[in-house]
Chain A
Amino acid sequence: MSDVVIAGYVRSPFHPAHRGALAKVRPDDLAANTVKGLIERSGVNAEDIEDLLLGCAFPEGEQGFNLARLVVLLADLPLSIGGMTMNRFCGSSMSAVHYAAGQIACGAGEVFIAAGVESMSRVPMTGFNPMPNPELAKRSAAYVGMGDTAENVARKYELSREAQEAFALTSQQKAGEAVKKGVFKDEIVPVTLPDGTVIDTDGTPRPDTTAEGLAGLKLSFDENGTVTAGTASPLTDGCAAVLVCSADYAAKNGLKVMAKVKSMAISGCAPEIMGIGPVEASKKALKRAGITMDDIDVVELNEAFSSQSLACIGDLGIPEGKINLDGGAIAIGHPLGATGARIVGKAASLLQREGKKHALVTQCIGGGQGIATILEAA
């Protein structure tokens, strides 16, 4: 059995939902454009790809039918490539990576695209037709709003508004710095709008954010709470994709290997504090990799909210200088289905850039789950 490696990572520009430059772009078109970019940049022979795995948290409307297969057709990829749309909410496209790794490990294919897309402009969060099970809604927090979970975590972990804002400010500053250095250029596949406008940068980061500005924002979810729009990831339109293949295949075909998939894990937790999902998932993944937090050099932790990020950082004992080096979702945005692929790809590229050995990639998932992946330098 061969090692599983990440041999390519791209993403679309990320733009705020509704008011951003991608609001009028269909998610299937956005995904087709990004996947084509991945194939071009990675140099993979498209004929060899087994399956396109596409994460999406609200697969209805323009994200409906079997979106993954439609993207294969839209992108004019070989008809031989399969397509499966996957949903684990925010963990969808990291799950796509895990599924691909599993398939490779058990010999059910050599090359996979693990991608994710979400147009939060065009398909609302909760979907067009939320119809919760009334009994379940009564007896559990299964359908609780994400903002409310952020407040619950802040309360449980006694995280002050100031601490959350300091974390958000740092994320914005790191992202601002990364934009300045042009590091996102390598990962972004530009989008050309029907009028010919080319979108090749993110619309999400707010590098001018100040502590005073954040302190002045209104509370978003609870009049007695601490969470604001400034300490939450913005609703975002975006897509991300990674190429997952066997180490043998990569070597045979001269693909540039970014990182090796060392271990993977899923865990569940109470829905009302879903934000701490990464804690147990990360512990499981570390154990499976046979390493400890001390061995981790780089962490990509999805910043759904400042509060849950801080809680996870505390519980896992992640040292400050290792986390989200180019900024996190609070600044860059969180297109639900796309985030997992973005942070896996990002962590792989950071291992290369920083010349480090181990990366932990993890995120929380609505409904009460955590997902984690450990990467190792190739």
Chain B
Amino acid sequence: MPENTQDKSIKKVCVIGAGTMGAGIAAQIANAGVPVLLLDIVPKDGDNRNAIAEGAVKKMLKADPAPFMGKRPAKLVETGNIEDDLDKVAECDWVVEAIIERLDIKQNLYAKLEEVRKDGTAVSSNTSTIPLEQLTDGRSDAFKRDFLITHFFNPPRYMRLIELVAGPKTDKATLEMVREFVDRKLGKTPVDAEDSPGFIANRIGTFWIQQAVNSAFDMGLTVEEADEIGGRPMGVPKTGIFGLIDLIGIDLMPHLMESLTSTLPEDDWYQKIARKETLIEGMIESGYTGRKGKGGFYTLEKGEGGQRTKMAKDLKSGEYRAAARPGIVQGSAKKDLKALISQKGKVGDYAWAILGPTLSYAASIVPEATATVVGVDDAMKLGYNWKSGPFEMIDKIGVAHLVERLEADDLPVPEILRKADGRSFYRVENGKRQYLGTDGEYHDVERPDGVLLLEDIKLSAEPIIANGSAALWDVGDGVVALEFTGKANALDEQVMKLIQKAIPLVKKDYKALVVYNEGSNFSVGANLGLAMFAMNIAAWSEVEKLVKGGQDAYKALKYAPFPVVSAPAGMTVGGGCEICLNSDAIQAHAETYIGLVETGVGIVPGWGGCGEMLSRWIDNPRHPNGPMPAVSKCFEIISTATVAKSATEAKEYGFLRRDDGVTMNRDRLLYEAKQRALAMADGYEAPEKPEYRLPGPSGKAALELAVESFHRQGKATDHDLTVAGELATILTGGDTDITEVLSEADLLKLERESFMRLVRNPKSQARVEHMLETNKPLRN
């Protein structure tokens, strides 16, 4: 067979099936800036033949969490139906089938696709249950060469896992084309799976949930106890098991069970544990299907005063009662898996009842479901949000200890555990992470081209400089990375000191600096606890020093003689946002939630955020000119503590400039930020200092009129008037006049002055204190 020699890249995609998965996949493709055709069947009634696909898009525009990253991507989705529009598949390079899980209907569709698709167009199924071999039965060899399974996880925008299953005839070029696209464009981490039932994540996940539910019923635990033991201490999402079932839908459980029991061999361990609980069946029948239904194992009950009480289902009586906080997991069991399963009593017993069988089962599916332990671990971490994969957990417990416990309980000890022979599944050798293969040898964990992780660099290197809050790393090719290392990546004096120390070092020995870290949040801003402490003892000069120190450090970075690129991902607010704004460029992960949220705690941006936002809006050619439009826009964004819900949206708000970069795959962020910085390094010149012509008190009067109106509408509180007034003072240039020009330093001074007035205000202090205590803003 000749290899396909066409241009192997995906420029347009067709998704067939506009259900939750299909529509969500289409949205993520559009989020990547790629046009997508979304088709579904023609509805039985009504005149609009595209009603189903159109309805799905409309629904997604309102959904929360949002499948779309902004309004623009939604425009890239073209809707249609499979009767009138299937021939448009000829324009597409990839067709994703996400229709009902019925073999005959899928086969029927593939027969039609065979007629219309061009050779080389990949066709993949999002099936979670039907073997590839059956799907392609009856199709031509050409079709089989281009066919594979791409199994996404729900919701497709947010879950990073995608399982790829290739058949014996699948063309390597087609597989690689799809792999490249889902990795770079959709930001997913592809894990190769074999054509076996449930693939990897759902096979283990379903077993795990079943085992946890069974054991809770058998051992007479409450759902709160089960979730306290089975949640955080095991590094699985804090919802625990029952909370997780509520989230995914209780009614989905029988379907998952059904699909696995019908496809797994009879002697598979799952067949033995699959069982239905009368109580749960009753809940489904009466509409208690979890968060999307009337309630689940947990529910929120509204009291008379409107306050909500968390209720939990009693597994014995079936009644709801106020949810308890058992507090039964204590001491080392909270963090140490081995300690957890070794405890006497129900904590240890339940933990072992879940983990023993689940880890054993997970170990038993290598290589049947996937070739390596890395595949299993990646699947569970990215598909089920586990902190550690099963084999990483096994390493924590110790292979020998686990085998001992399994044997003692007469539970199966899979071959791979025997082969490990007491060795860990992972080790670090010569600065490289290695895993134990099924051949009993260690192999390097390979990263795809263009993936660069600080986590990997740290295996063999020490930071260039570091202190308690930040570190500077050599990430190769003359680029350094500035990493925040404090709790929640909070910013403090230490960070600013490290920045000042780094600048001469980089100038001397390196070409560029990237601000980057691998926390789940880039930074949630200044360390409020420290600020509160200073406020409490009225150490005003210390507070002012902190503000000035931050301004000086950020501006020193901005005007340093080398390019600075910030690479945010996750929450990037307050001072975290401001360091980005002060950079030469931003390379943001698509899932970056950036904003200036200072007003929520009764203060204003103090590290140059106001001036930088003004510059962005004044320079925006799409925004009207004149002294007020940029000022009004910045005021609107900052006074309402707006946080963009994606990097795409961040561009709409001006936190990112139009030419700033967006990286879809989290693992590629550092590499792409580094490339961006290097591209600017040759002949780099620091930016010119901006000048501002601002409206002064007249502009402030206009903004205050607007805020007063919001106040009357009940949308702004009393103290909001004060805080917004200070913000208005900064953004309109204080006492300036339209005939005068202000410098960056003038604006920084205004920021400092307003900041200092506000921190002295007891109502702002109350906001800070409330945020520290409850993590929620105080509306005073």
* Chain A interface residues toward B at CB < 8 A: 61, 126, 128-134, 137-138, 143-145, 147-148, 151, 219-225
Q: B interface, by DSSP: helix, strand, loop or mixed?
A: helix
Contact A131 B712 (CB under 8 A): no
Q: Which parts of B592-633 form the interface with A (CB within 8 Å)?
A: 624-629
Write out the residue numbers on chain B whose beta carbons fall within 8 Å of the beta carbon of A219: 713
In the complex, B459 has a CB within 8 A of chain A: no
A145, A147, A221: the one within 8 Å of B705 (CB):
A145
Contact B712 A130 (CB under 8 A): no
For the complex, count residues of B whose C-beta is within 8 A of A: 20
A130, A220, A225: the one within 8 Å of B702 (CB):
A130
A-B contact pairs, 6 of them (CB 8 A): A128-B624, A131-B738, A145-B709, A148-B712, A219-B713, A225-B712
A223 to B330, CA, bound (A): 49
Write out the residue numbers on chain A whose beta carbons fall within 8 Å of the beta carbon of B695: 129, 131
Contact B698 A133 (CB under 8 A): yes
**A61-B624, A148-B709 given as contacts; is B714 within 8 A of A131 (CB)?**
no
Contact B709 A131 (CB under 8 A): no
- Among residues of B, the one whose C-beta sits closest to the C-beta of A145 is B709
A130 to B713, CA, bound (A): 21
A134, A143, A145, A147: the one within 8 Å of B700 (CB):
A134
**7 shortest interchain CB distances as A-B pairs:** A223-B714, A131-B698, A129-B628, A129-B626, A130-B702, A134-B701, A137-B701
Write out the residue numbers on chain B whose beta carbons fall within 8 Å of the beta carbon of A145: 705, 709
Contact B713 A143 (CB under 8 A): no
Contact B629 A128 (CB under 8 A): yes
Contact A132 B709 (CB under 8 A): no
A220 to B626, CA, bound (A): 29
- Among residues of A, the one whose C-beta sits closest to the C-beta of B697 is A134
Q: Mark B16-28, 1 if CB is under 8 A from A, else 0.
A: 0000000000000
Which of A130, A144, A220 is packed against the most chain B CB atoms within 10 Å? A130
A126 to B628, CA, bound (A): 11
A126 to B629, CA, bound (A): 12
B424 to chain A, nearest CB (A): 61
**A128-B628, A128-B629 given as contacts; is B713 within 8 A of A134 (CB)?**
no
Q: Which parts of B666-713 form the interface with A (CB within 8 Å)?
A: 695, 697-702, 704-705, 709, 712-713
Contact B713 A223 (CB under 8 A): yes
Which of A132, A138, A148, A219 is packed against the most chain B CB atoms within 10 Å? A132
Counted as pairs of residues, one from A and one from B, with CB atoms less than 8 Å apart, the total is 60
A260 to chain B, nearest CB (A): 43
A76 to B699, CA, bound (A): 40
Contact A134 B712 (CB under 8 A): no
A129 to B709, CA, bound (A): 18
Write out the residue numbers on chain A whose beta carbons fall within 8 Å of the beta carbon of B713: 219-223
Write out the residue numbers on chain B whose beta carbons fall within 8 Å of the beta carbon of A134: 697-698, 700-701
B277 to chain A, nearest CB (A): 43
Write out the residue numbers on chain B whose beta carbons fall within 8 Å of the beta carbon of A224: 714
Contact A221 B709 (CB under 8 A): yes
Which of A61, A129, A134, A147 is packed against the most chain B CB atoms within 10 Å? A129
Contact A222 B712 (CB under 8 A): yes
A222 to B629, CA, bound (A): 25
A219 to B626, CA, bound (A): 32
Contact A131 B699 (CB under 8 A): yes
Write out the residue numbers on chain B whose beta carbons fall within 8 Å of the beta carbon of A129: 626-629, 695
Contact A131 B705 (CB under 8 A): no
A128 to B623, CA, bound (A): 10
- Among residues of B, the one whose C-beta sits closest to the C-beta of A128 is B624
Write out the residue numbers on chain A whose beta carbons fall within 8 Å of the beta carbon of B625: 128
- Among residues of A, the one whose C-beta sits closest to the C-beta of B632 is A130
**A134-B700, A134-B701, A137-B705 given as contacts; is B712 within 8 A of A223 (CB)?**
yes
Write out the residue numbers on chain B whose beta carbons fall within 8 Å of the beta carbon of A220: 713
Q: Other CB < 8 Å A-B pairs besides A132-B701, A221-B709, 18 of them?
A: A126-B702, A128-B624, A129-B629, A130-B628, A130-B702, A131-B702, A132-B698, A132-B705, A133-B698, A133-B701, A143-B705, A144-B705, A145-B705, A148-B709, A151-B712, A223-B712, A223-B713, A225-B712
Contact B712 A221 (CB under 8 A): yes
A253 to chain B, nearest CB (A): 45
A50 to B307, CA, bound (A): 70
- Among residues of B, the one whose C-beta sits closest to the C-beta of A143 is B705
B779 to chain A, nearest CB (A): 13
Write out the residue numbers on chain B whose beta carbons fall within 8 Å of the beta carbon of A137: 701, 704-705
A256 to B30, CA, bound (A): 59
A156 to chain B, nearest CB (A): 16
Write out the residue numbers on chain A whose beta carbons fall within 8 Å of the beta carbon of B701: 131-134, 137-138, 143
A20 to B672, CA, bound (A): 43
**A221-B713, A222-B712, A222-B713 given as contacts; is B705 within 8 A of A128 (CB)?**
no
A199 to B625, CA, bound (A): 31
B366 to chain A, nearest CB (A): 57
A369 to chain B, nearest CB (A): 20
Which of B697, B709, B712, B714 is packed against the most chain A CB atoms within 10 Å? B712
B701 to chain A, nearest CB (A): 4
Q: Mark B228-266, 1 if CB is under 8 A from A, else 0.
A: 000000000000000000000000000000000000000
B622 to chain A, nearest CB (A): 14
Write out the residue numbers on chain A whose beta carbons fall within 8 Å of the beta carbon of B738: 131
A151 to chain B, nearest CB (A): 8
A137 to B626, CA, bound (A): 21
Q: Which parts of B711-768 form the interface with A (CB within 8 Å)?
A: 712-714, 738
- Among residues of A, the one whose C-beta sits closest to the C-beta of B703 is A130
Write out the residue numbers on chain B whose beta carbons fall within 8 Å of the beta carbon of A138: 701
Write out the residue numbers on chain A whose beta carbons fall within 8 Å of the beta carbon of B627: 129, 131
A147 to B705, CA, bound (A): 13
Write out the residue numbers on chain A whose beta carbons fall within 8 Å of the beta carbon of B624: 61, 128
Write out the residue numbers on chain B whose beta carbons fall within 8 Å of the beta carbon of A223: 712-714
B98 to chain A, nearest CB (A): 33
Write out the residue numbers on chain A whose beta carbons fall within 8 Å of the beta carbon of B699: 131
A291 to B409, CA, bound (A): 106
Write out the residue numbers on chain A whose beta carbons fall within 8 Å of the beta carbon of B705: 130, 132, 137, 143-145
A203 to B161, CA, bound (A): 48
Write out the residue numbers on chain B whose beta carbons fall within 8 Å of the beta carbon of A148: 709, 712
Write out the residue numbers on chain B whose beta carbons fall within 8 Å of the beta carbon of A131: 627-628, 695, 698-699, 701-702, 738
Write out the residue numbers on chain B whose beta carbons fall within 8 Å of the beta carbon of A133: 698, 701
B731 to chain A, nearest CB (A): 14
A126 to B626, CA, bound (A): 14
- Among residues of B, the one whose C-beta sits closest to the C-beta of A223 is B714
Write out the residue numbers on chain A whose beta carbons fall within 8 Å of the beta carbon of B702: 126, 130-132, 143
- Among residues of A, the one whose C-beta sits closest to the C-beta of B627 is A129
A237 to B705, CA, bound (A): 25
Write out the residue numbers on chain A whose beta carbons fall within 8 Å of the beta carbon of B697: 134
Q: Mark B436-467, 1 if CB is under 8 A from A, else 0.
A: 00000000000000000000000000000000
Write out the residue numbers on chain A whose beta carbons fall within 8 Å of the beta carbon of B629: 128-129
Which of A128, A131, A225 is packed against the most chain B CB atoms within 10 Å? A131
A188 to B553, CA, bound (A): 63
A364 to B714, CA, bound (A): 27
Write out the residue numbers on chain B whose beta carbons fall within 8 Å of the beta carbon of A221: 709, 712-713
B530 to chain A, nearest CB (A): 37
Write out the residue numbers on chain A whose beta carbons fall within 8 Å of the beta carbon of B628: 128-131
- Among residues of A, the one whose C-beta sits closest to the C-beta of B709 is A145
A222 to chain B, nearest CB (A): 5
B709 to chain A, nearest CB (A): 5
B733 to chain A, nearest CB (A): 12
A148 to B713, CA, bound (A): 10
Q: Mark B325-346, 1 if CB is under 8 A from A, else 0.
A: 0000000000000000000000
B635 to chain A, nearest CB (A): 12
A223 to B714, CA, bound (A): 5
A60 to B507, CA, bound (A): 50
A114 to chain B, nearest CB (A): 30
A219 to B629, CA, bound (A): 27
Write out the residue numbers on chain A whose beta carbons fall within 8 Å of the beta carbon of B704: 137
Write out the residue numbers on chain B whose beta carbons fall within 8 Å of the beta carbon of A143: 701-702, 705
